[in-house]
Amino acid sequence: MTLHREGRTLLITSLIIVLGINAFFAYLFPDREYLREFIVVITSLFYLIILQFFRVPKRHTEINPQHIIAPADGKVVVIEETVESEYFKGTRRQISIFMSPLNVHINFNPISGIVSYFKYHPGKFLVAWHPKSSTENERTTYVVKHENGTEILFRQIAGALAKRICWYAKENESVTQGSEFGFIKFGSRIDIFLPLDAEICVNLGDKPVGGETVIAKLR
């Protein structure tokens, strides 16, 4: 299993803590084998959860200029028309994908094109499904200009547990559909804002696969 570079420090720190806890209980209760074994099981499970969170899955993206692919694993929690006030300042179709701590948290470019806009916003850490999280939480905003001139906006949003958003793309940089553009640690959400005439290919409750599932098609 390949592990993501964003998890190296945390994984090493967590391993030291886990080993320290087990050593402490072994020293404190040398005659209580059942208790020591119980602690080993609990701390091992805790470490495995963190370990799987930073796994890097193998994904195959079929490049298609008409397709918008899922930027992340998770669950579709919003499909609606809304006003995007930061960049477009007009009505767009919004799809939101919520990532639980058990999902892979790598973020994939939904289309190929040029990054025409990027901005990081410090903010709060409301739960990611809260309606105000899109405008009040810590977040980034990307806009990628498609080869046909259409611009797609997608936003990384930190949740109650996500205390760090990582991003790799820069303005005026060329990006490829399916390539990695960022990472969010522990529970978060991504909003995608599409043209009103885009054909939506997912439903509420669907669980798209980041980098593979087609969530919309451009007309």
Q: Catalogue the active-site residues.
A: 188
Rounded to an integer, what distance in angstroms lies between the CA atom of residue 22 and that of residue 196?
56
Residue position matching structure tokens 């939506």: 200
* Secondary structure string (H, E, C) spanning 58-92: CCCCCCCCCEEECCCCCEEEEEEEEEECCCCCEEE
- Per the CB < 8 A criterion, the answer to whether 82 and 89 are in contact is no
Q: Write the DSSP string, 143-181.
A: EEE-TTS-EEEEEEEE-SS---EEE---TT-EE-TTSEE
**Quick count: other Cβ atoms within 10 Å of Cβ 143?**
22
Which tokens in the block code for residue 24? 């402490």
- Per the CB < 8 A criterion, the answer to whether 154 and 142 are in contact is yes
**Quick count: other Cβ atoms within 10 Å of Cβ 150?**
17
Rounded to an integer, what distance in angstroms lies between the CA atom of residue 53 and that of residue 55?
6
Which strand (E) or helix (H) includes residue 96? strand 90-99
